[in-house]
Amino acid sequence: MGLISKVSRRTLHRRYEAAAAAGDADAMLFLGTVRAKDDPAASREWFLRAAQAGNIHAMYIVGLYLEPHAPQESRRWLDKAADGGHIDAMIKLGVLEQARNPAVARFRYEQAAERGSSIAMFNLGLLLEATDRRAAIGWYERATADGDADAMVNLARLKQDEDPDGARALLEQAAATGHPRAQERLRAD
């Protein structure tokens, strides 16, 4: 069985290499992924080729690996991925912009939240707490509806004074997921 699987893998890799050579961006992404552990330089090259060929996920990967040493180029790839609909790229750009340009961060988080990302909804809550408490509560409520325990804890904190029973219920819900801060706050009460 081991020999068959090695032969099958070699055949599969040859097929992907042929597809990549013919310009298939998904095949390039696959080759970048399978080569990551054994040949990081070749992996990065395949990811870059896939990104240049239009693969949105590859654009995101290239943006991530360029960030430490080429931040402007990283930002260019992350923007392309986000503009292509990549939710994680939208969130990453929001994080990168949060301190420097909150309006851009909000825009990117809202893009991701509109596509259903509870992480982006939570980040919007954090971003807006100091400037628009009502909007922050709304985003935390949406993230809570998606089961985000961090949002439950923050929503409980914001609602504590006006609705202590509702706040406690949120903490209990978060604690039931194993959330340590929720468990600590319940023990403290």
DSSP per residue over 108-129, as a string? HHHHHHHTT-HHHHHHHHHHHT
Residue 29 lies in a domain: yes
Residue 77 lies in a domain: yes
* Residue range 96-111, pLDDT digits in tens: 999 999 999 999 999 9
Residue 25 lies in a domain: yes
Collapsed DSSP state (helix, strand, coil) of residue 55 = coil
**What is the predicted pLDDT for the residue at 1?**
45
Residue 39 lies in a domain: yes
Residue 94 lies in a domain: no
Residue 26 lies in a domain: yes
Collapsed DSSP state (helix, strand, coil) of residue 89 = helix
Global model pTM greater than 0.95: no
Q: In this predicted structure, which of 137-141, 173-177, 185-189 has the lowest mean pLDDT?
A: 185-189
* Residue range 1-21, pLDDT digits in tens: 455 566 587 888 889 999 999
CB atoms within 10 A of CB 41: 7
Residue 60 lies in a domain: yes
Is residue 70 within 8 Å of residue 88, measured between CB atoms?
Answer: no
More confident residue, 149 or 188: 149
Is residue 118 within 8 Å of residue 89, measured between CB atoms?
Answer: no
Closest CA to 90 of 69, 75, 71: 75
Residue 55 has phi, psi (to 5 degrees) of -75, 115
* Residue range 50-60, pLDDT digits in tens: 999 999 999 99
Query: What's the one-letter identity of residue 150?
Result: D
Instruction: Read off the DSSP letter of residue 97.
Output: H
Looking at the structure of the chain, the number of domains it has is: 1
Residue 158 lies in a domain: no
Residue 70: domain span: 1-84
